[in-house]
Amino acid sequence: MNTNEIITLVTGGNRGMGLEIVKELSQKGQRVIMGSRSFEKGKTAITQLSKTGINADLVQLDVTNPASVSKAAQVISDKYGYLTILINNAGAVFDFQQQPSVVKLDNLRADFEINYFGLIDVSQKMLPLLKKSPQAKILNISSMMGSKTASLDPKTGVYNVVATGYQSAKAAANMYTVQLAKEMARANLPITFNAIDPGMVATEFGGSTPEQAQQFGANPVDFGVARTIELATSPDDNTTATFTNTSGNVAW
Q: Which parts of this chain interact with ligand NAP (CB under 6 A)? A: 11-12, 14-18, 37-38, 41, 61-64, 89-92, 114, 141, 143, 198, 200-201, 203-205, 218
Min dist. Cβ of residue 125 to ligand NAP (A): 13
Kindly tell me which of 64 and 133 has the beta carbon lying closer to ligand NAP: 64
Contact yes or no for 57/31 (Cβ under 8 A):
yes
Rounded to whole angstroms, the Cα distance separating 151 from 172 reads: 15
CB-wise, 84 or 167, nearer to ligand NAP?
A: 167
Residue number, 154 or 207, with CB nearest to ligand NAP? 207
The CB-of-1 to ligand NAP minimum distance in angstroms stands at 28
Q: Which is nearer to ligand NAP, 9 or 201 (CB)?
A: 201
Q: Residue 98 carries which side chain, given as an amino acid letter?
A: Q
Contacts of 130 (CB under 8 A, 6+ apart): 82, 83, 84, 86, 136, 138, 191
Closest by alpha carbon to 70, among 128, 146, 155, 19? 128
Coil, helix or strand at residue 8: strand
Residue 35 or 191 having the CB closest to ligand NAP: 35
Instruction: Provide the β-strand partners of residue 195.
Output: 140, 243
Smallest gap from Cβ 85 to ligand NAP, in A, equals 16
- Cβ-based nearer residue to ligand NAP, 17 or 127: 17
Closer residue to ligand NAP, CB minimum distance, 90 or 191: 90
Compute the least distance from the CB of residue 2 to ligand NAP, in Å.
30
Q: DSSP for 14-82?
A: TSHHHHHHHHHHHHTT-EEEEEESSHHHHHHHHHHHHHTT---EEEE--TT-HHHHHHHHHHHHHHTS-
Is the Cβ–Cβ distance between 45 and 10 less than 8 Å? no
Q: What is the closest distance, in whole angstroms, from the C-beta atom of residue 90 to ligand NAP in the complex?
A: 3
CB of 199 to ligand NAP, least distance (A): 6
Give Cα separations from 69 to 34, 45, 106, 181 (angstroms). 13, 20, 22, 21
Cβ atoms of 13 and 42 closer than 8 Å: yes
Closest distance between ligand NAP and the C-beta of residue 158, in Å? Answer: 10
Strand 136-141 and strand 191-196: pairing?
parallel
